[in-house]
Amino acid sequence: MSTIAKRTGTKSGEVKSGLAVAGSAVAASAITRYQLTLDQALALTEFEDNERACAELVATAQSNPGQFPHALQRLRDARTNAELAAAKQPNCRSRATSSSTPTPATTPPRSHTPLRELLTADNEPVTVEHIADVDGRAAFISVYNADRVVVNYYVADPKAAGFRRYGQAPKEPMTDEQKAERKTLIINNKAWDSAETVRREWLGEFLTRKTLPKDAAQSIARGLTTHHNTVGTGLNQSNSLAHELLGVERSNYYSPDALAAIVEKTPTKALHVALPVVLGGIEESISRWSWRTPSAHTAAYLNQIEAWGYTLSEVERIAAEKNDPAPDNAE
């Protein structure tokens, strides 16, 4: 691979991608037939055994290429969820800012209700598959004699999830409108999770560029004034996301702050540190609720990164359309 890169003057990463595409009958055919980019064709190699997924990616590449990263991430997440569901596990992807993470517990959570006590709206026992998209789910793992593991699942708010306890009177059947709203909720929640992955990957690349946008200083000032409460969320969490976006390992309690050390070493990098701190704080404050209850602050943030080159997904677009100004402490 390195020999090919030297002879052709091509980056080794591109050579590796090209070889992967050439080795896939699906990707090699599609890149020529549909004039895909190398990155788009490379994505097809992940789903060459899934005809429907490949067709969706090709269609997106042709009709709306800006949405390709979002479509790809949704397919990746759907695949992961399917694999976890098959193993009788809910989605355990870490989401530090969301209450939707199923948290392994050392003792059964008293604030949660075990699935074995619950029924669905259709009067069926609640299973792991039923809680795959339920906020506030948790897992309690018991190990017996080091060779037997039992996992019991819980939910924090059965009523909000549409469940009821055994012995309770069944709720009125959902109307068609309620069913449609529930379906939209599930679809958009999944889309938001996928978009978050794409957005933060983009931010990581954007914030490590040598040159920041001309309005970076103004954005920092707005973050520390208009959005001071939301930015404060990140500050209270020791700028963990800012470190992650910059690819910098966080210092321990007794060591100097790693981000401050960058500025001390290279004062000209002050804006390169301050901007991730501001954006990281805002990122920490947004979640699935951001599209369900759009705020002016979330909208301003999403519209700003779109102006810098990020392509909003459809669900992010919903959150970006809240334009009326509001004081930060009104949230």
Express each pLDDT in 35-62 by its tens digit: 999 999 999 999 999 999 999 999 999 9
Residue with the larger pLDDT of the pair 331 and 214: 214
Mean pLDDT of 168-195: 84
Residue 331 predicted with pLDDT over 90: no
The predicted structure's pLDDT at residue 87: 63
Q: Rounded to whole angstroms, how far apart are CA atoms 223 and 226? A: 6
Shared-domain flag, residues 113 and 155: yes
- Report the chain's mean pLDDT, rounded to a whole number: 82
Residues 198 and 308 in one domain: yes
156 Cβ partners below 8 Å, 6+ apart?
99, 109, 111, 112, 113, 135, 136, 137, 138
pLDDT of the residue at 10: 54
Residue 266 has pLDDT above 80, yes or no: yes
- Asked whether residue 109 is domain-assigned, the answer is yes
Tally of domains within the chain:
3
Same domain, 292 and 319: yes
Q: What are the strands, taking DSSP E only, across the chain?
A: 103-105, 113-114, 118-119, 137-144, 148-155, 164-165
- Same domain for 187 and 326, yes or no, is yes
Classify residue 178: in a domain, yes or no. Answer: no
Task: Identify the pLDDT of residue 198.
Answer: 97
Distances (CA, A) of 85 to 71, 90, 95, 116, 182: 21, 6, 18, 18, 20
Q: Is the residue at 246 inside a domain?
A: yes
Domain final residue, candidates 143, 173, 203: 173
Q: Indicate whether 179 pLDDT > 80.
A: yes
What percentage of residues in the chain have a pLDDT greater than 90? 38
Q: What are phi and psi of 149, to 5 degrees?
A: -115, 130
Q: What is the mean pLDDT of residues 216-245?
A: 84
Task: Quote the pLDDT of residue 146.
Answer: 54
Yes or no: say if 137 and 153 are a contact pair by the CB < 8 Å rule: yes
Query: If we measure between CA atoms, which residue out of 284, 291, 296, 283 comes closest to residue 329?
Result: 296
Q: For residue 115, which of 174, 155, 69 has the smallest C-alpha distance?
A: 155
Using pLDDT thresholds of 50, 70 and 90, give the confidence band for residue 206: very high
Instruction: Report if residue 200 sits inside a domain.
Output: yes
Does residue 268 sit within a domain?
Answer: yes
Residue 201 sits in the same domain as residue 310? yes
Any domain includes 91: no
* Whether residue 8 has pLDDT greater than 70: no
pLDDT band at 88; cut points 50, 70, 90? very low
Q: Are residues 166 and 211 in the same domain?
A: no
Task: Report whether 315 contacts 300 (CB < 8 A).
Answer: no
Helix (H) / strand (E) containing 323? none
Q: What are the tens digits of pLDDT across the range 233-255?
A: 767 766 788 888 998 887 776 67
Q: Is residue 153 part of a domain?
A: yes
* Residue 93 resides in a domain: no
The reply to whether 201 and 284 lie within a common domain is yes
Predicted confidence at residue 96, as pLDDT, reads 29
DSSP state of 107: S
| Shared domain check, 282 and 261 | yes
Residue 71: pLDDT band (50, 70, 90) is very high
Query: Which sign, positive or negative, has the C-alpha torsion 308, 313, 314, 319?
Result: negative
CA-to-CA distance for 58 and 41, rounded, in angstroms?
9
Q: Are residues 65 and 114 in the same domain?
A: no
- What pLDDT, on the 0 to 100 scale, is given for residue 95? 32
Instruction: Look at 97-101, 211-215, 321-325 and tell me which has the smallest mean pLDDT.
Output: 97-101
Q: Does 329 have pLDDT greater than 50?
A: no
Mean pLDDT, residues 104-118 taken together? 72
If asked whether residues 132 and 193 sit together in one domain, one would say no
pLDDT over 60 at 103, yes or no: no
Question: So what's the pLDDT on residue 323?
Answer: 57
Instruction: Assess whether 320 and 191 both reside in one domain.
Output: yes
Among 173, 201, 220, identify where a domain stops.
173
Over residues 1-14, the mean pLDDT reads 54
Domain termination site, one of 27, 58, 86: 86
Residues 273, 203: one domain? yes
Q: What is the domain range of residue 119?
A: 103-173
